[in-house]
Amino acid sequence: MTSYALLFTLSAIGISETVYLIRKRLASEKPVCPIGGGCALVLTSKYNKLFVIPNDILGLLFYIMAAFVSAFLVIDVPPIAFWSLIIKLSITFGALLSLFFIYLQWRVIKAWCFWCLMSAFTIFLMGIIIVVSGFI
Amino acid sequence: MKKTSFHFLRVGLAITFLWIGVLIFKNPEAWGGYLQPWAVGLLPITLTQAMIGTAFLDIAIGAFLLFDFLPWLAAFVGAIHILIVLTVSGITDITVRDIGLLVAAIALMIDSLPQGVSKWFVKKQNPETNHAK
């Protein structure tokens, strides 16, 4: 259950990050950018959407789904095998997408966004937890 | 309170409420065991039903805090909820940490009170000042 508790906590942190970014975007305000200084540049670039949906909304939906699924796994909501597969697949997909976004910031936009890196780090950490919990 | 510290406290408290809600859903009977017998006797519904209601309340408070939606109201309800928990379960080695959560919820509530509510509270505190105006 420890791994699901950690996944749930990281999902909640991800939700708070993405809600902050969505609020700032809706209010047309620049987010606080403690490290890197390129947040506004990255967040307003042409890569800020995927299939017409803003990345912050996709991130929020991903984290809400991850929080629900990890809660289902803790409460033992059937079918457990299905939820377990869903969380593994979605975190793998999220981690790959985060790698792509890091590449875009590094090579294409040539600016670093603190919040995007935080979100990527959160998803990588979720992936590490899934991998490590498989061995323990 | 500084803006950053407020958000750290808000998200931390939100995760605590959400996680407790999930744990109560997992095993409501076990969590109901913390209630004092006199408190169980006062319940108009079964203990399990009461604990599931508590889980819903915990998750609602946590979600409001996490989404930064009416944080003052969520913190206010959370503080009252923790006060009730302390009353009906008694202060034991385990529940003593609820005192920290209670004070954290009160701090969040005070810091996020809307201006209208704060002004109303100040007026109630200093009625003479208002009459002089």
B56 touches chain A (CB under 8 A): no
Three-state secondary-structure class, residue B3: helix
- Work out the mean pLDDT of chain B and round it to a whole number: 91
Q: Rounded mean pLDDT of B34-49?
A: 94
B22 to A15: CB separation less than 8 angstroms, yes or no: no
Q: What percent of chain A has pLDDT over 90?
A: 82
Mean pLDDT (whole number) for B58-62: 98
Its domain, for residue A6, covers 2-135
pLDDT tops 90 at residue B93: no
Q: Which residues of chain A lie closer than 8 angstroms to B14, CB-CB?
A: 12, 16
Q: Which of A49-53, B42-46, B90-94, B129-133 has the lowest mean pLDDT?
A: B129-133
* pLDDT per position as a tens digit, B121-131: 777 777 665 55
What is the DSSP code string of B50-100? Answer: HHHHHHHHHHHHHHHHHTTSSHHHHHHHHHHHHHHHHHHH---TTTTHHHH
Q: C-alpha B19: how far from its chain's center?
A: 14
CA A115-A118-A119 angle, 5° bins: 90
Nearest to residue A34, comparing CAs of A114, A118, A122, A120? A114
Structure tokens at A18: 């993405």
Predicted TM-score (pTM) of the model is: 0.89
Number of domains in chain B: 1
Structural domain of B39 = 3-132
Rounded CA-CA distance B7/B10 in Å is 5
pLDDT of residue B91: 84
**What are B56's strand-pairing partners?**
none
Please indicate if any CB of chain A lies within 8 Å of the CB of B66.
Answer: yes
Q: What is the pLDDT of residues A89-130, one digit of tens each?
A: 999 999 999 999 999 999 999 999 999 999 999 999 999 999
CATH number at residue A115: 1.20.1440.130
| Residue A67 with chain B: CB contacts under 8 Å | 18
Region A12-40: mean pLDDT is: 92
Q: What is the 3-state secondary structure (H, E, C) of A17-66?
A: HHHHHHHHHHCCCCCCCCCCCCHHHHHCCCCCEECCEEHHHHHHHHHHHH
Number of domains in chain A: 1
